A and B are shown apart, each in its own frame.
Chain A
Amino acid sequence: MAPRYACAIGLLLMFSASLSLAQPLGENLSPQYAEAPRPRCDSYTMKNRISLTALEKTCYYGDQLFSPSAISGAALFGGIAQAMNSPSQWPQGAKGFEWRFSTRYVQGMAKSTGVYLAGLALHEDPRAVRPECSRPHDSRGLVTDAATPRGFWRRVGGAVAVNFWTKNDSCKMRPAFAATTGALSSGFVGMAWTPDPSNTISKAFVRSGTALGGSIGNSIFAEFQGDITHGVSRMFGHKPAGGF
């Protein structure tokens, strides 16, 4: 028994000594490299991922609900409705604008909710501009190589088509339903407050059609936003590139 204990104590002492010696040496050891963590909902990933995860679609939905463009859009179309006195049963002035603005804002929220829920259920991408599935990407789905610039009509065609026929999360082509679902949500939620003579199914479909038109317009605007800026700055006498 005694030699066994002595051996165990000896081993323990050697182990402790090795630990105490290893401590100062450890400072000079090469660092341990690890795989980068997985990104979530940051603006870079949301723009460059081929397909969004459910969490990222939720983040995108949250951003859409409360954004300056949602507010300014509702204010603009509320203002137009006010000028056109539509619906005529509603008053003019601040009260009338408040009603028209808030109903349009809620319609926008209903549209975003429809797009979000349909996108989740049917694995569709809610983004107005998304990287093409054919582009090289890494295991996290982030694009790695530059895209070949496309011509004007291909860009217009792509921006329109994405609302009706697109690739799903698995990059398979199929009809798109999210935009239409969002448009229908927006059109029919209006039935909750539209005054009686105008509160018909056909009017709800008209509103849905307008909302779908808005989605297509938004896709085209998002695709050409940079070019529009370029055009506007040139229009105001700013010659951007100098020379030649």
Chain B
Amino acid sequence: MCFALSGCVANRAYREKAPVLHEFAPETKLKYSMAFVEFDDVGEMFSKPSEIVVKDGKEQDNTELGQTIAEIERINRGEEGPDPVFVLFIHGWHNNASESSGNVWGFRSELQSLVEELAKRQPTGQPARPVMGIFLGWRGEATSLPVAKDFSFWNRKNAATRIPGAHLTEALRRIAIAAKSNPRAKCVVVGHSFGGLVMERTLTQAMVEMILEYREESDRIDKDLSEGKLDQETAARQRQNAEDKLQNRRPDLTVLLNEAGPATEAKEFLNFLVHQDIEFADSQNVRHPLFLSLTSTGDSATHIIFPVGQFLGKHGLNTRKYEEPDEFGETDQNHYFLHTTANSPRLVSHIVTPSTTAPSECNETKYRDFKLGDKTYYICPSAGARNKTPYWVLQIPTEFVPDHSTVFKPELRALLEAFMAPHLDVSPSVPAPAGGETPTQKAPPEIKLQRKQRPELKQTGQ
């Protein structure tokens, strides 16, 4: 009774009984899957030991994560069509995995639009590409009481900082590995608000580990080769294995929308990317984003409320002045602590602007252009930006996202499509060899995470 009167939102899983949904879009009847993996208020997955059983000598994992992985594997076997696309989403404040959550409906709507858009792009006669959405749920709403729920910002922010732990890392890594076990599959990760903070904390640490592992392995192969311990063929094979590990165990693109986390989170990763000379480029040397932080200029929560809250909540935390300006020209760590990544002007790398008001340089340097209604927009590198890493940081006009929470919009979809297009393009399948059972799976031209070319480094040093 007391619990109900207080309006507390239960700390429970909403999707235990049916974590994987098979649905179709209302108009076109195109199919998509939607799976849920839920975490409690301290970041533990809602799983029970009894959900993992051994049957006929085989382990059967009936947890939400287990069923999600099984569905990914089913789709990757090609049962629903070729070239699947997996989209993983983690929500923010005021949401959870229940049917009454606006983010569940927004995500569902995006999946329907994506499956329809991909079907339009397919050549005539080709089956539609399968789409699967994975919704990571946590207790983003602590109370349903009107007014009171609007004062739970700091309570929920604390919860969001508890979620990135071993269970979330396990879930993200297993999902990414399962999804990318098919070289033609694409995996896009999206985090909104506190969900962006959760995602950034988890994924940047995993990326650092992967990049360092790759580097260590490359150095070892080089050393062994020079010492004659390896022949050229073995070295090439080992190099390819290390390369595959790096390219095929990570999401193709991670998008953080109106992320409600301090820039100190991103800054450390940005430093790492700069020091390791990492770029994410295709065979034509066009650079693409691996991480994308997008914040609306109309987002009052991260523009105005967040710095005030950070200031008030700073307590005994000591930030420092840098002895010399950092890689991005900042001298005060406090600035990064008080502002979100996209609200730290020194970290901004690109702009989105209408073509009519775009600076002249934009015509030559633009990454991509796209239409919104009858208006053309450009995505261009920001002049004088010091952030040239594959972690792109942008502020976007209010026509794409008007405020903090309205992120599921056709307008934003148009912008995201511009970033996702290089990932969603596919090369034609190679026909099956004579007598072969399945068509040979050949990956489309890949955008690779790699170290920059050395000559370029020498030039910048001059």
Chain A, residues 34-75, CB within 8 Å of chain B (1/0): the string is: 111101111111111000000000000011011110010000
Q: How large is the interface on A (under 10, 10 to 19, 20 to 34, 35 or more residues)?
A: 35 or more
Asked whether, in the complex, the Cβ of A67 is within 8 Å of the Cβ of B299, the reply is no
Whether A226 contacts B348 in the complex (CB less than 8 A), given A44-B106, A139-B27, A240-B395, comes out as no
- CB-nearest residue of chain A relative to B393? A242
**CA of A138 to CA of B25 in the docked complex: distance in angstroms?**
10
| CB proximity of B16 to chain A, nearest CB, Å | 18
* Contact partner, A42, options B100, B147, B298, B383, Cβ 8 Å: B100
**CA of A227 to CA of B397 in the docked complex: distance in angstroms?**
9
Whether A42 contacts B102 in the complex (CB less than 8 A), given A36-B26, A242-B345, comes out as yes
How many chain-B residues does the 8 Å CB contact rule pick out? 62
Asked whether, in the complex, the Cβ of A148 is within 8 Å of the Cβ of B373, the reply is yes
B300 at the interface (CB under 8 A from A): yes
Asked whether, in the complex, the Cβ of A35 is within 8 Å of the Cβ of B23, the reply is yes
Asked whether, in the complex, the Cβ of B398 is within 8 Å of the Cβ of A243, the reply is no
Asked whether, in the complex, the Cβ of B303 is within 8 Å of the Cβ of A229, the reply is yes
A212 at the interface (CB under 8 A from B): no
Asked whether, in the complex, the Cβ of A148 is within 8 Å of the Cβ of B374, the reply is yes
A16 at the interface (CB under 8 A from B): no
**Residues of chain A within 8 A of B401, CB atoms compared:** 226
Of B224-232, B403-411, B431-439, B443-451, the segment with at least 4 beta carbons within 8 Å of chain A is: B403-411
**CA of A180 to CA of B106 in the docked complex: distance in angstroms?**
33
Asked whether, in the complex, the Cβ of A230 is within 8 Å of the Cβ of B398, the reply is yes
- CB-nearest residue of chain A relative to B151? A68
**Residues 201-244 of A contacting B (Cβ, < 8 Å):** 225-230, 232-233, 238-244
B76 at the interface (CB under 8 A from A): no
Asked whether, in the complex, the Cβ of B375 is within 8 Å of the Cβ of A149, the reply is yes
Chain B, residues 55-89, CB within 8 Å of chain A (1/0): the string is: 00000000000000000000000010000000000
B113 at the interface (CB under 8 A from A): yes
A196 at the interface (CB under 8 A from B): no
A33 at the interface (CB under 8 A from B): yes
Asked whether, in the complex, the Cβ of A44 is within 8 Å of the Cβ of B384, the reply is no
**Residues of chain A within 8 A of B351, CB atoms compared:** 241-244
**CA of A41 to CA of B101 in the docked complex: distance in angstroms?**
9
* Contact partner, B383, options A71, A228, A244, Cβ 8 Å: A244
A89 at the interface (CB under 8 A from B): no
Asked whether, in the complex, the Cβ of A138 is within 8 Å of the Cβ of B27, the reply is yes
Asked whether, in the complex, the Cβ of B345 is within 8 Å of the Cβ of A35, the reply is no
Chain B, residues 368-387, CB within 8 Å of chain A (1/0): the string is: 00001111000000111100
**CA of A48 to CA of B409 in the docked complex: distance in angstroms?**
8
B215 at the interface (CB under 8 A from A): no
* Contact partner, A244, options B31, B147, B359, Cβ 8 Å: B359
- CB-nearest residue of chain B relative to A147? B373
Asked whether, in the complex, the Cβ of A226 is within 8 Å of the Cβ of B403, the reply is yes
**CA of A238 to CA of B351 in the docked complex: distance in angstroms?**
16
**Residues of chain A within 8 A of B94, CB atoms compared:** 43
- CB-nearest residue of chain B relative to A36? B23
B322 at the interface (CB under 8 A from A): no
B183 at the interface (CB under 8 A from A): no
**CA of A112 to CA of B300 in the docked complex: distance in angstroms?**
25
A144 at the interface (CB under 8 A from B): yes
A183 at the interface (CB under 8 A from B): no
* Contact partner, B343, options A62, A68, A240, Cβ 8 Å: A240
B112 at the interface (CB under 8 A from A): yes
**Residues of chain B within 8 A of A139, CB atoms compared:** 26-27
B104 at the interface (CB under 8 A from A): yes
* Contact partner, B375, options A63, A148, A238, Cβ 8 Å: A148
**CA of A34 to CA of B25 in the docked complex: distance in angstroms?**
9
B366 at the interface (CB under 8 A from A): no
Whether A34 contacts B79 in the complex (CB less than 8 A), given A146-B410, A148-B373, A229-B304, comes out as no
| CB proximity of B310 to chain A, nearest CB, Å | 14
**CA of A107 to CA of B403 in the docked complex: distance in angstroms?**
28
- CB-nearest residue of chain B relative to A24? B56
Chain A, residues 82-109, CB within 8 Å of chain B (1/0): the string is: 0000000000000000000000000000
**Residues of chain B within 8 A of A243, CB atoms compared:** 348, 351, 382-385
Asked whether, in the complex, the Cβ of B373 is within 8 Å of the Cβ of A232, the reply is no
**CA of A34 to CA of B32 in the docked complex: distance in angstroms?**
10
- CB-nearest residue of chain B relative to A142? B109
Asked whether, in the complex, the Cβ of A67 is within 8 Å of the Cβ of B146, the reply is yes
Asked whether, in the complex, the Cβ of A241 is within 8 Å of the Cβ of B359, the reply is no
**CA of A67 to CA of B23 in the docked complex: distance in angstroms?**
35
| CB proximity of B45 to chain A, nearest CB, Å | 23
B414 at the interface (CB under 8 A from A): yes
Asked whether, in the complex, the Cβ of A43 is within 8 Å of the Cβ of B102, the reply is yes
**Residues of chain B within 8 A of A233, CB atoms compared:** 297, 303-304, 343
Whether A229 contacts B297 in the complex (CB less than 8 A), given A146-B410, A244-B383, comes out as yes
Asked whether, in the complex, the Cβ of B373 is within 8 Å of the Cβ of A227, the reply is no
A174 at the interface (CB under 8 A from B): no
B108 at the interface (CB under 8 A from A): yes
B51 at the interface (CB under 8 A from A): no
- CB-nearest residue of chain B relative to A240? B395
Chain B, residues 248-289, CB within 8 Å of chain A (1/0): the string is: 000000000000000000000000000000000000000000
**Residues of chain A within 8 A of B399, CB atoms compared:** 149
In the complex, 16 of the A-B residue pairs with CB atoms within 8 angstroms, ordered by the A residue number, are: A35-B24, A36-B108, A37-B99, A67-B150, A143-B410, A146-B411, A147-B411, A225-B298, A227-B398, A232-B303, A232-B304, A238-B345, A241-B382, A241-B395, A243-B348, A244-B359
Complex A-B, nearest 10 residue pairs according to Cβ-Cβ distance, in ascending order? A226-B298, A148-B373, A43-B102, A243-B382, A242-B348, A226-B398, A66-B146, A44-B102, A44-B106, A146-B410
Please give the residue numbers on chain A whose beta carbons come within 8 Å of chain B beta carbons, in ascending order.
30-37, 39-48, 62-63, 65-68, 71, 138-140, 142-149, 225-230, 232-233, 238-244
Contacts A36-B25, A44-B408 known; 13 new A-B pairs at CB < 8 A? A32-B22, A34-B24, A35-B24, A40-B100, A42-B104, A43-B94, A43-B102, A44-B103, A62-B146, A67-B147, A68-B150, A146-B409, A242-B348
